[in-house]
Chain A
């Protein structure tokens, strides 16, 4: 079974600075997808960024980018120019690429609470 580990329960960053959130995962599969979701106080989980394991290029979405190290099974999220609205719980998630008859099961980490200080 796949597992996802986020070793930082809490992180803080100054507004306009850069912060990196860590995520590692364990899998025996070679093809899979990785995601970062954020959950603000509104409780809705919002997709931040996603990465296909077969792609070597790191995904980027505006101020958000990832450092995907497949051999190390590491998938960190970098937030540049942090804004107050970035404050939220961030979850790393894994999904197998095996074609299944069931829906697409996501395995989540425990989350990292990010505080942005003005």
Chain B
């Protein structure tokens, strides 16, 4: 049990499909994140949420749409993706500054969703 659960584990979708990635954390954290991990590249931060409010959008294309209904759940809605969007999408959570967390509070990651866009 990782504390951060992501579903599905694998996803194959066509460029015209609409799908969603789900993330759930059971750690009582107040901050949640989406990261993109592509081969041979550093992890790229996509979105940050604090207490359900989006506090950072790292210039992500609008074909990626995040949703955070509460502090425990985070979604990433996908539509009209491109083949170059194929990657591992990692969700993470932490006790952010607004929740009393310290800067050395680590991120806890899920196992990721391996996305393939055909």
Contacts and interface: CB of A to CB of B under 8 A. Distances in A.
Interface residues on B, range: 20 to 34
B109 A44 contact: yes
B66 interface: no
A100 B43 CA distance: 21
Contacts of B96: 102-104
Given A43-B112, A44-B2, A91-B43, A102 B104 contact: no
Contacts of A50: 104, 106
Interface stretch (A13-21, A60-68, A77-85, A108-116): A108-116
A71 B42 CA distance: 24
A25 B42 CA distance: 13
B42 A109 contact: yes
Contact of A45 (B94, B97, B109, B114): B109
Interface residues of A, number: 30
Given A102-B56, A103-B56, A105-B48, A45 B92 contact: yes
A33 B111 contact: no
Interface string A87-106: 00001000111011111111
B50 to A, nearest CB: 5
Interface in B86-114: 88, 90, 92, 94, 96-98, 101, 103-112, 114
Which of B32, B48, B56, B106 has the most chain A CB atoms closer than 10 A to its own CB?
B106
Nearest to A109: B42
Given A44-B2, A102-B48, A103-B49, A110 B98 contact: no
A86 interface: no
B99 to A, nearest CB: 10
Interface of A: 4, 32-33, 35, 37, 42-47, 50, 52, 91, 95-97, 99-111
Interface of B: 2, 31-33, 40-43, 45, 48-50, 55-56, 88, 90, 92, 94, 96-98, 101, 103-112, 114
